A and B are shown apart, each in its own frame.
Chain A
Amino acid sequence: MPARNHNQWIAKPPLQQGEWIDSRIYSEQGIFNDEIEKIFKHVWVPVCHESELPEAYDFRTTSIGGEPIVICRGPDNEIRAFLNVCPHRGMLIERRPAGSFLEGQPSGNPKRMTCMFHAWQFDMKGNCVYVAREKEGYQDRLCKENVGLRRLRCEVKFGGFVWVNMDDNPSQTVEEWCGEPFECLRESLDAEPLEVFHYHKAIVDTNYKLWHDTNSEFYHDFMHYHNRITGFNDAYFARKNFAYKNGHVVVGTFEVNYENYEGFESRAELSFPKLPPNQWYMVDLFPGFNFNLRGSALRCDIVTPLGPDKVMIEFRGLGLKRDTPEERITRINHHNSIWGPFGRNLHEDLIGVAGQGATMSPGTEPRRILHGRHENETIHDEIGMRHYYDEWGRWMNRMPSEPDKAYAPPAVAAE
């Protein structure tokens, strides 16, 4: 195949619409801003796991679509989410990533969220309980009842993940949104309480969708040294990608023969409840959340887009809450050997998406990204991405292949 000149390079590929996309959707600030408004402020986001707020008054802070969020557990044991913004002058109320409101902060009091700027205070239900010198300044024109926090839709589901939606009236409940793809994992995740044992985050110079793409196709097995030398076999390749409504994909299950992997051992003994030994499941949720159960350890990766070429990814590993210390050590070892910073796959995935981020940074020439592999919907078929980008096009009302045009169904249906 000869090299191509500029005109040849920018010509449309000999594939159908829907089998390739325009790289501007990974690099343009305007499209990114649109994604925040049209997608991230309306979808359910699994912001954390309930085991990360085990006690009453525990909290975590995060953000969705650039808006700061605080999630806390009340004395009634309910987990609630609020905009982490003071109704007075817009100050960020809680600055710590996580902690407890049980002990008072230097400018606050026990059991309340306090805005340190002017000492306004809020309880775990978001009620405003104190306005400093209220009557002196506001007389009877404004009172505590007028200045509660903004509460957000929040549900705890699918093994204890905390789902928050910035839209007060989302078109679907969490169950309607992703209950079907979670069906394959539901019994295992809900059999008994889970607990986060691993957390780290990375800020990667790439677009969040490029990260999600690596979870939606396994053709990049060729990058994973360990997969290449030990994993390729008929059962491995026979797995299918199953497309679900709302842009989600489930990768078909298979049994992993860990004994065949140098340095690995069977995970049958510690496999999750109601899970056949050593089974493997992966659920990819639109627009960027991944759940992967590898027998003994559950992994959950959540994206927070920070810009067209910047994404924060939070990585969590989970086991069973009732683990003995010995079981927990083994589970962590199983988790880290695949997904730790020096594990089998994670660093290679990050190299891949960082390389794409480098070639598609803002201002680079638009180019075409091919999603046209058809291989009977198995793991090297790019159906996962075609399904995802069709959903993206509908939320954005843009053609992924020509993002300045309004959405129309692709010539090749998303299957």
Chain B
Amino acid sequence: MSWIKLCKTTEVPENSLKKIWAAGGIPILVAHYKGGFRALPPVCPHMEEPLDESGIIAGCVMTCTKHLWAWDLATLELQGETEKPLKTYETKVEDGELMAFVEKELLYDFEDEDDMDDDAFFNS
């Protein structure tokens, strides 16, 4: 894929987040922080929390309000107890349209441990 349109920059006011269904059915979270935009996968890398519902932006810092993981959206630095970095799509603005460079959908890895065989499990 390539550069795709997400929305007009005026659709997402500063200090807010909006989830967009981009071309190809890919969900992208647009974050408008002080001084710029980010295009992100729409869930928190911690617990898959939908950030359009639970994320808040104050200045440059986006915080997921469930367990208080937070990132500086300007530098992408992890704040406080945050343990995983954000993944981001490259963005640019053309004629008032926010664009993102999307090769494929960015996804976080969430742990999924394997089961033991029942008898091994219950007899261990």
Interface residues of A (CB under 8 A from B): 75, 78, 104, 109-112, 119, 121, 123, 125, 127, 129-130, 132-133, 151, 153, 168-169
Q: How far is the CA of A168 from the CA of B122 in the complex (A)?
A: 6
User: Known contacts A125-B113, A125-B115, A127-B113; is A151 also within 8 Å of B121 by CB?
Assistant: yes
Q: Which of chain B's residues have a CB closer than 8 A to the CB of A111?
A: 48, 110
Q: Which of chain A's residues have a CB closer than 8 A to the CB of B44?
A: 109
Q: How far is the CA of A121 from the CA of B44 in the complex (A)?
A: 15
Q: Which of chain B's residues have a CB closer than 8 A to the CB of A130?
A: 46-47, 67
Which of these, B48, B111, B118, contacts A153 with CB under 8 Å? Answer: B118
Q: Which of chain A's residues have a CB closer than 8 A to the CB of B50?
A: 104, 110
User: Known contacts A119-B67, A127-B113; is A169 also within 8 Å of B48 by CB?
Assistant: no
Q: A109-B44, A109-B47 are in contact. List 9 more A-B contacts (CB 8 A).
A: A78-B115, A104-B48, A109-B66, A111-B48, A125-B112, A127-B113, A129-B47, A130-B47, A130-B67
Quick check: is B2 within 8 A (CB to CB) of the other chain?
A: no
Q: How far is the CA of A15 from the CA of B112 in the complex (A)?
A: 62
Q: How far is the CA of A121 from the CA of B67 in the complex (A)?
A: 12
Q: How far is the CA of A273 from the CA of B66 in the complex (A)?
A: 50
Q: A123 touching B112 by the CB < 8 A rule?
A: yes
How does the 8 Å CB contact mask read for B80-121 relative to A, with 1 for contact and 0 for none? 010000000000000000000000000000111101001001
Q: How far is the CA of A123 from the CA of B81 in the complex (A)?
A: 22
Q: A121 touching B122 by the CB < 8 A rule?
A: no
Closest chain B residue to A167 by CB distance? B122
Q: A109 touching B48 by the CB < 8 A rule?
A: yes
Quick check: is B123 within 8 A (CB to CB) of the other chain?
A: yes
- Category for how many chain B residues contact A: 10 to 19
Closest chain B residue to A78 by CB distance? B115
Quick check: is B14 within 8 A (CB to CB) of the other chain?
A: no
What is the minimal beta-carbon distance from A124 to any residue of chain B, in angstroms? 9
Q: A169 touching B47 by the CB < 8 A rule?
A: no
Closest chain A residue to B44 by CB distance? A109
Q: Which of chain B's residues have a CB closer than 8 A to the CB of A125?
A: 112-113, 115
Quick check: is B72 within 8 A (CB to CB) of the other chain?
A: no
Closest chain A residue to B53 by CB distance? A104
Which of these, B48, B81, B113, contacts A110 with CB under 8 Å? Answer: B48
Q: Which of chain A's residues have a CB closer than 8 A to the CB of B46?
A: 130
Which of these, A78, A112, A151, A169, contacts B123 with CB under 8 Å? Answer: A169
Q: A104 touching B49 by the CB < 8 A rule?
A: yes
Q: How far is the CA of A104 from the CA of B49 in the complex (A)?
A: 7
Q: Which of chain B's residues have a CB closer than 8 A to the CB of A169?
A: 122-123
Q: Which of chain B's residues have a CB closer than 8 A to the CB of A168?
A: 122-123
What is the minimal beta-carbon distance from A210 to any residue of chain B, in angstroms? 34
Q: Which of chain B's residues have a CB closer than 8 A to the CB of A127?
A: 111, 113
Q: How far is the CA of A78 from the CA of B114 in the complex (A)?
A: 12
Q: B49 touching A109 by the CB < 8 A rule?
A: yes
User: Known contacts A109-B66, A169-B123; is A129 also within 8 Å of B48 by CB?
Assistant: no
